[in-house]
Chain A
């Protein structure tokens, strides 16, 4: 037997089909020719021709077997695909069976030679010559051929269809048993080769059918398909099996001429036997198998009826679990997820009603909140059950809580008839954290058996996984969103700093600002008042991060608008303090150093509002901190600020260097934990005082990086260096003005 024939077609249908069709045509053609030859042989027999040698009879019988092998292959090709449901399997054998019986009945009735029917034995009555079995009239030949073909087709279709049932959940052993059965059937049939149509089976021939029948019994016990049927499907299957059984019994009766005639039925396997003895044995054996299988199927179906609902529930649980597992990877909106989680125990039949409680994110107490319900009114749950206390108990133990007689529990105030007979609460645990609790109820007490509880437990585990996944994703999205927002904030803040430094005859300027985080509270800026005066500012908003960044932007607005109206340091700072005081939080203040460099007057005037003092280095190497008195902006909102504030005016000498910075520079820590400090700052500046501003800036930054031991700063750091050359540096034909002010992340 070609095993490929029985392999179900999966992929590549379109590729296989053309070859498949071509093969069918070929087999069909061969079968047609063979059947024609067989019929021709019968016609010749009828006209008195006798095969002269036994070889002629052998050739005839071999031709019959060949023809029916081809027909079997043809049918096997046709029924290669398994029907989608078990019930569909029964249809065709029933249909063909009915057809066979009908053909049989009709043809034998018409073919009977009435004048002989009363006295002659069966074969003669059907038109076969007594003794030789030669067909006597054309009707006999016709009937013999049609009925044999119909009988064999019925047997083949029956076997091919039942194969699909027997081989549900196939194993190696079950497939082997099936083919052994077929093999023994063929073997038993083959033993009757060349047997006279009127002869009876001898002892050996009967004995040979025993193993075939034995394997029929084994195969009849392969009934796995029944388990998966619903109740109605089972009932339909019982009816169909019974009907098929009746047909098979009818066919079986027709086989035996004695029984048939006593029932008044047309007999006749006689036709089949005259056609081919082995074929008739094979058909009989097939019918026996059909009867056996239908009988065991009917019995099994009947016995399985009561357990159907349990199997259904188990199947439902599997399906619900499957869909819930899919959810884990697909659904990330909490509300939809919650709905599906409460739906699964109901859909699987494990519970009558369900609801899900999760800790409320908004409330500080984390009191559980019912977020989804199924088959129960969410508004009434609180009247029935104290969800909070049950939730607490589950949270404490981390284990499912089963109330077999829910109505007797003090936390359940539902009355009989409210549908809460037993209650099961299962924690949703993910990474040892309780994400919620799944509550399921049944309307009867003791409603949850061990397997129900296990199923609900599995749902809860899946649900926890799904919720956890969704939450992780949400957190990640939120994190990414924040990072994007911060990046935008950073870009905006960078734009608040001067994009190019001012140019003023006789002065070179270098400046930089580094934020420790995405955004910072440091600010520096310049504003050209007129062609020989430039105002400068370095400010540091207290605190860090976003709020500091907002106040930094505020400071920028104040500087850009106020410096043109009130450029003098003292007035500027007084106005700035008044404006900022109304804006700043009480705990926030801004330290500022502000000044004006006058290139024509060759002076620098400068005031300090709580900021780190500016460092002033002369060409002769003297270095000092310009610690003029003054409080931070926003600290005092009254007169103390003005009283404390004073400004200093310094006459510029060529080579003078002024360095403004924020506390990030002074407080930078080295590997040993020391602060950078004022002394080191002044020393580095003094050592490099002959450099032009840009190189001095570079030298100082290098020294800072050296000191810190890395380029990661943990505070915002701003550095502004101005050097007075006394003459227009541009006339020296060198770039005295570093073009870019930079702000970069730590």
Chain B
């Protein structure tokens, strides 16, 4: 009865994960598996699109924390875009905006990767 799914999409060199439904303790493992898949494929620049994410629990937020260090060591990152206000509020209350780039649009998030990559190059 999982009402959560992850859609895979690429935008240039960036992997976009579209989250649909509710991300909680039961469904967190699906996002975990999705990000692990990206890591295995050496795709370390990830944008998470939360347009269709209805709910996130603390266990769901934990998934981002679990991978962020490793991704950043590989010079990648997770950027979060298009969150619904109520979901953003959960991120915001915990102080996630201080750790992650959380932006209005997916294009913006992808662009940020290109800027940083451009800077790095």
Contact = CB atoms under 8 A, between A and B. Distances in A.
A589 B94 CA distance: 9
B58 A640 contact: no
Nearest to A613: B93
A301 B4 CA distance: 78
A644 B98 CA distance: 8
Interface string B67-110: 00100000000000000001000100111101100000000000
A541 B99 CA distance: 19
B99 A587 contact: no
A542 B59 contact: yes
A667 B65 CA distance: 22
Contacts of A585: 66
Given A610-B94, A610-B95, A635 B65 contact: yes
Contact of A544 (B25, B95, B96, B98): B25
A540 B93 CA distance: 13
Given A540-B58, A542-B58, A543-B58, A635 B63 contact: no
B94 A591 contact: yes
Contacts of B94: 589, 591, 610, 631-632, 635
Contacts of B66: 585-587
Contacts of A644: 95, 98
Of the listed residues A543, A544, A612, A627, the one surrounded by the most CB atoms of chain B closer than 10 A to its CB is A543
Nearest to B95: A631
Interface string A530-565: 000000000011111100000000000000000000
Contacts, number: 65
Contacts of A544: 25, 59
Contacts of B98: 631, 636, 640, 644
A648 interface: no
B14 interface: no
Contacts of A591: 58, 93-94
A589 B58 contact: yes
A699 interface: no
A632 to B, nearest CB: 5
Contacts of A686: none
A689 interface: no
Interface in A627-647: 627, 629-632, 635-636, 640, 644
Contact of A589 (B25, B57, B62, B69): B62
A165 to B, nearest CB: 71
Contact of B65 (A545, A587, A613, A675): A587
Interface residues of A, number: 29
B99 A543 contact: no
A588 interface: yes
Contacts of A640: 98-99
B99 to A, nearest CB: 6
Contacts of A629: 95
Contacts of B69: 586
A596 B57 CA distance: 28
B61 A542 contact: yes
A134 interface: no
Of the listed residues A588, A632, A636, A675, the one surrounded by the most CB atoms of chain B closer than 10 A to its CB is A632
A611 interface: yes
Dominant secondary structure of chain A at its interface with chain B:
loop
Contacts of B63: 587
Dominant secondary structure of chain B at its interface with chain A:
helix
Interface in A283-318: none
A613 B94 CA distance: 10
Nearest to A609: B95
B24 to A, nearest CB: 9
A610 B93 contact: yes
Contacts of A611: 93
A645 to B, nearest CB: 9
A630 B62 contact: no
A635 B93 contact: no
A480 to B, nearest CB: 24
Of the listed residues B57, B58, B69, B99, the one surrounded by the most CB atoms of chain A closer than 10 A to its CB is B58
Contacts of B57: 663, 667, 715
A586 B25 contact: no
Given A586-B65, A587-B66, A589-B65, A632 B95 contact: yes
A256 to B, nearest CB: 97
A627 B86 CA distance: 15
Contact of A636 (B25, B90, B99): B99
A632 B69 CA distance: 17
A636 B95 CA distance: 10
B80 to A, nearest CB: 14
A734 to B, nearest CB: 37
Nearest to B25: A544
A586 B96 CA distance: 14
Contacts of A540: 58
Contact of A543 (B25, B86, B90, B96): B25
Given A635-B99, A636-B98, A588 B62 contact: yes
A610 B97 CA distance: 11
Contacts of A613: 93
Interface string B7-42: 000000000000000000100000000000000000
B60 to A, nearest CB: 9
A663 B95 contact: no
A675 B56 CA distance: 13
A715 B99 CA distance: 26
A579 to B, nearest CB: 18
Contacts of B61: 542, 589
Interface string A581-598: 000011111010000000
Contacts of A545: 25
A126 B108 CA distance: 139
Of the listed residues A542, A586, A663, the one surrounded by the most CB atoms of chain B closer than 10 A to its CB is A542
Nearest to B64: A587
Contacts of B65: 586-589, 635
A610 B65 CA distance: 14
Contacts of A542: 58-59, 61-62
Contacts of A610: 93-95
B14 to A, nearest CB: 23
A627 B99 CA distance: 19
Given A541-B58, A589-B61, A591-B93, 7 more contacts: A586-B66, A588-B62, A591-B94, A611-B93, A635-B99, A667-B57, A715-B57
12 contacts: A586-B66, A587-B62, A587-B65, A589-B62, A631-B95, A632-B94, A635-B94, A635-B95, A663-B57, A663-B58, A675-B86, A715-B57
Interface of A: 540-545, 585-589, 591, 610-613, 627, 629-632, 635-636, 640, 644, 663, 667, 675, 715
CB-based closest 4 A-B pairs: A631-B95, A542-B58, A587-B66, A587-B62
